[in-house]
Amino acid sequence: METQTPTQNTQPPESKIAVLRSILRSIQSQTASALTLLEEGGPVGDEARRLIGAAHAAPTDVGGRVIEGVFDGQHMTGSDGKQYHVPPNYASKSKLVEGDMLKLTITPQGSFIFKQIGPIERTRIVGELAQDSETKQHSVIAGEKSWNILTASVTFFHGEPGDEAVILVPQTGPSRWAAVENIIKKTPII
pLDDT in tens, 166-180: 999 999 989 999 999
Is the separation of the CB atoms in 88 and 53 below 8 Å? no
Judged on CB neighbours under 10 Å (0-12, 13-18, 19+), 104 is buried
pLDDT in tens, 17-57: 755 565 666 566 566 656 665 666 555 445 444 444 443 33
Is the separation of the CB atoms in 34 and 44 below 8 Å? no
Number of Cβ atoms within 10 Å of the Cβ of 126:
13
Which pTM does this prediction carry? 0.65
Query: Residue 39: CA atoms inside 13 Å, Cβ hemisphere, count?
Result: 6
